[in-house]
Amino acid sequence: MKNILVPIGSTENAQSTLQYAIDFAAEINANIIVFRAYKAIAKAGIMVNMSAIIERETNLYLRAIVKSVDRKKVDIKLISSKGSVIESVEAVDHEIGIDLIIVGAKSNSIKEEVFLGSTAGSIVKKTNLPVLTVPEAYIYKPINTILLAFKSGIIKSKTALNPLKFIVKHLKPEVNSLLVKTVGYKEEDLVLDPHLSKLQTTFTVTENATTFQGVLEHFKTHNPDILCVFRRKRGFFKKLWEKNTILKQEFHTSIPLLILKGK
């Protein structure tokens, strides 16, 4: 894992999200790319180059955020990009190569009932990059235990497990797998991918109405430092294929959430 992209929004949580990303990067010797997309609206009769002004202000904002955190000797690059967040993320990935995105869970939302804001949700929904969402004001702590929750042991993407493999190799955490049998499960869902089997420390099968309910039932037992799930069209984040924002009543977690997916 070499490059970690950290999208920065206009929220108080931007500083704590970046600090978490830096602390994590320091543990695994990765680079940080602090990133912000901006849009410039052209108006007739205005002689000033608005794009240049907004780009300059964006860069100043990014520098101020970086200056406010403990860099811990981590290599940090700043990128401002004109366009939508998704288009810009894809462009950065194409040019540099992104191994992981770390983003604040609530993003720009001020609604208390929101778990994943529109920025974090759209990144999860519309890109094929793994995402680590960080709760508001969450402080990094060593990753000793991971709870991996899923509805099916079938993994179609060869790259989906790469972030988890890297974390297990370098940080040596326990990986407690939780297979949640929901209504309509198939017998083949109970057969684990061999690469997944190699990563896990323990394996539990539970029956619940939803994967979220299974996580709630077993969360205290495992007391994880990170919750890990797969993004699948018929899986844990099915609702993200319908909309960008996820409410707390649909899902929430008080710890970082690693969302695995692959190309």
Which domains occur in the chain, in start order? 3-134 (3.40.50.620), 145-260 (3.40.50.620)
Confidence of residue 109 (pLDDT cuts 50, 70, 90): very low
Confidence of residue 223 (pLDDT cuts 50, 70, 90): very high
- CA 46 centroid distance within chain: 39
> pTM of the full predicted structure?
0.86
Using DSSP, state whether 123 is helix, strand or coil: helix
| Structure token digits, residue 163 | 């972030």
More confident residue, 109 or 152: 152
Closest CA to 13 of 133, 151, 106: 106
> Are 223 and 107 in contact, with CB atoms under 8 Å apart?
no
Phi, psi torsion values for 79, nearest 5 degrees? -135, 125
Q: State the pLDDT at residue 2.
A: 93
List, for residues 32-75, the tens digit of each pLDDT value: 999 887 776 655 555 456 667 667 777 788 888 889 889 999 99
DSSP-based helix, strand, coil % in the chain, nearest 5: 35, 25, 40
> Are 192 and 153 in contact, with CB atoms under 8 Å apart?
yes
- Mean pLDDT, rounded, of the chain: 83
Confidence of residue 242 (pLDDT cuts 50, 70, 90): low
Mean pLDDT of 123-135: 88
More confident residue, 10 or 201: 201
For residues 23 and 141, what is the distance between their CA atoms, to the nearest angstrom?
A: 9
For residues 213 and 181, what is the distance between their CA atoms, to the nearest angstrom?
A: 11
More confident residue, 147 or 104: 147
User: 258 - beta bridge partners?
Assistant: 132, 228
Using DSSP, state whether 263 is helix, strand or coil: coil
Q: State the pLDDT at residue 22.
A: 97
User: 230 - beta bridge partners?
Assistant: 260
More confident residue, 78 or 247: 78
Q: State the pLDDT at residue 85.
A: 85
Judged against a pLDDT cut of 80, whether residue 120 lies above it is answered with no
List, for residues 156-215, the tens digit of each pLDDT value: 888 999 999 999 999 999 999 999 998 888 899 999 999 999 999 999 999 998 888 898
Q: State the pLDDT at residue 254.
A: 84
For residues 250 and 252, what is the distance between their CA atoms, to the nearest angstrom?
A: 7
Closest CA to 2 of 28, 38, 40, 35: 28
Confidence of residue 13 (pLDDT cuts 50, 70, 90): confident
